[in-house]
Amino acid sequence: MYILGIESSCDETAASVSENGTNILSNVISTQIEEHRKYGGVVPEIASRRHCENISGVVKKALSDAGKTLDDIDAVAVTYAPGLIGALLVGVNYAKGLCMASGKPLVPVHHISGHIAANYIAHPTLKPPYLCLVASGGHSHIVEVLDYTSFRVVGRTRDDAAGECFDKCARAMGFPYPGGVHIDKAAQKGDRNAFSLPRPKVTGSEFDFSFSGLKTAVINLLHNSQQKGIEINKEDLSAALQGTISDILCEKTMLAAEALGYNTIAVAGGVSANSGVRGIFEKTCAEKGYSLYLPPLSLCGDNGAMIACQGYFNFLAGQRGDESLNAKATLSLEDI
């Protein structure tokens, strides 16, 4: 069956046509990064307006790239939560309009479950149950993927997400938005031992994250050295930051894997594109004899293919949206 997937939760308007979830026939992404860059982050009002302008063209291109028309599509999947509310509403209303006009089924998709599904596209051997770290600009979750549509969140961030920590530290270092990828590039040439950065202790749930202390430490270090007129080596600081974030993400995921008895691990979300994160997971999983699944770089960030893929599984599970479907800025993966 053919699914049209639509994604508009943040600053990417994206659409994709997939056949049976994992065979991607098209994947169109219209990014607004350039426009938000001058403000140092996503401006929600601008994001909503751009989605509104772009969504029709993006969906049309996804259909034509796939060599399909709306008539060929069996269901429309759309991200309805979580994300920027005005941005989500554009995708949700567009998908609802398509479905109401054509009589096709509407399938709501949780954005985080979409990131998790990105790994099924590249790795046909990956099957639940397994443990997945989802690290993006807004979320850092350790998730038990019990089935294709059933999730248990066993660890979450208490404050900033890993991507947010990358981006805010990058901004303080003078890198353009979004800074994660710039930290990644700079880190390749740096010495991670040149700086010793704190590893926040989280009391309570041992699988939870906290990145705000690390962010504050980096920002304070930069401000203090600026006041003293001392030049900070950005490559070294990037390497130290990337190394610390990667270690924390991997350590907590491995703790959860051991405690819960998983030896199949996946990583997903924008931060899974980070070379330090990929490297430490590859090394650690090889040492432990665990199977590791990482999305291809093209599917780490927000895209419509992951929504079409998860939409396929949601469709098979009988999940449908009706004309009252609403967008939700926050919604736990466990409450879908």
The window from 20-28, 40-48, 160-168, 288-296 that contacts ligand KG4 (CB under 6 A) reads: 160-168
178 interface partner picked from Zn ion, ligand KG4, none, CB below 5 to 8 A per type: ligand KG4
> Smaller CB distance to ligand KG4: residue 171 or 320?
171
How many chain residues touch ligand KG4 (CB under 6 A)? Answer: 20
The window from 44-52, 134-142, 144-152, 244-252 that contacts Zn ion (CB under 5 A) reads: 134-142
Closest approach of Cβ 158 to ligand KG4, in Å? 17
Q: Which of residues 6-25 bind ligand KG4 (CB under 6 A)?
A: 10
Q: Which of residues 179-198 bind ligand KG4 (CB under 6 A)?
A: 179-181, 184
Rounded Cα–Cα distance for residues 300 and 23 (Å): 17
Closest approach of Cβ 150 to ligand KG4, in Å? 21
The window from 50-58, 176-184, 215-223, 314-322 that contacts ligand KG4 (CB under 6 A) reads: 176-184
Interface residue with ligand KG4 among 66, 77, 88, 273 (CB under 6 A) is: 273
How many chain residues touch Zn ion (CB under 5 A)? Answer: 2
> Which has the closest alpha carbon to 184: 249, 300, 266, 273?
273
> Which has the closest alpha carbon to 149: 109, 121, 118, 122?
109
Spell out, one character per residue from 136 to 155, where the chain touches ligand KG4: x when CB under 6 A holds, - when not.
xxx-----------------
Work out the angle at residue 239's Cα, subtended by the Cα atoms of residues 237 and 241, and round it to the nearest 5 degrees.
65
128 interface partner picked from Zn ion, ligand KG4, none, CB below 5 to 8 A per type: none
The window from 40-48, 198-206, 231-239, 263-271 that contacts ligand KG4 (CB under 6 A) reads: 263-271
Is residue 113 a contact residue for Zn ion (CB under 5 A)?
no
Is residue 178 a contact residue for ligand KG4 (CB under 6 A)?
yes
Contacts of 243 (CB under 8 A, 6+ apart): 187, 192, 276
Is residue 136 a contact residue for Zn ion (CB under 5 A)?
yes
> Rule CB under 6 A: which residues touch ligand KG4?
10, 115, 136-138, 163, 166-167, 178-181, 184, 269-271, 273-274, 301-302
